[in-house]
Amino acid sequence: MITEEDCIWAIQLWGGLAEGGRWIVPDLGVYERTGENQIVLVELYAALPTHKVTKESRTLFDDHEYLVELGKHIGWEVGLAIEKAWNQEGEVLNIPEDRYGEAAVCSKQCGTIVRIEPPEPGKIMIQITDRKCPTCGKQGFTKAWDNLHVVMDDRGARIKQILSEEE
Ligand SMILES: [Zn+2]
């Protein structure tokens, strides 16, 4: 629910930012004013290091979505241009921009696929350490994937698990 109070608050706050000026939202990130009626999220805090999607972990996403909705009410565009993302420990996520779109399959054939994607609010990023697969725990990835934060697709692994339980 977007109230009139919220709209007034946003008009005053965003309108008061100089172009290039930054607005820090605790627990969400940093927005920068990039135009007459435009702000974009340039830094994202706590991009959900666990892959559990709980009600609580959805609040980040809801917050950005809420600001997008609020913007629509008052004629502002609220966009994404994330340059830097942080996890809950305050570490910068390691996501090389020039490798966006690259994917790899766990070589131990558990069915897990990982992908390098730009960070977004609500997107769950998992770090690969010691070449270990986040699903099966075996060394399923090459050195080139070590320490990267990736998006994990474990649907294949879950299907395999269900099938093996049925056997
Ligand atoms: Zn695996």
Q: Which of residues 40, 65, 85 is at a domain's end?
A: 85
- Å from CA of 57 to ligand 1 middle: 25
Predicted TM-score of the model (pTM): 0.78
> How many domains, the chain?
2
In a domain, 91, yes or no: no
- Å from CA of 161 to ligand 1 middle: 12
Helix ranges, the chain (H): 4-16, 59-74, 155-166
Predicted confidence (pLDDT) per residue in 68-121, tens digit = 999 999 999 999 999 999 887 888 999 999 999 999 999 999 999 999 999 998
- Å from CA of 140 to ligand 1 middle: 6
Scan for tokens 């996403």, then name that residue: 61
In a domain, 55, yes or no: yes
The strand pair at 126-127 and 77-85 is best described as unpaired
Q: Which of residues 85, 119, 145 is at a domain's end?
A: 85
Q: Are the C-beta atoms of residues 118 and 82 closer than 8 Å to each other?
A: yes
Predicted confidence (pLDDT) per residue in 42-71, tens digit = 999 876 544 344 444 444 445 888 899 999
Domain that holds residue 35: 4-85
Q: Are the C-beta atoms of residues 129 and 141 closer than 8 Å to each other?
A: no
In a domain, 62, yes or no: yes
- Å from CA of 2 to ligand 1 middle: 44
Residues 121 and 66 in one domain: no
- Å from CA of 97 to ligand 1 middle: 25
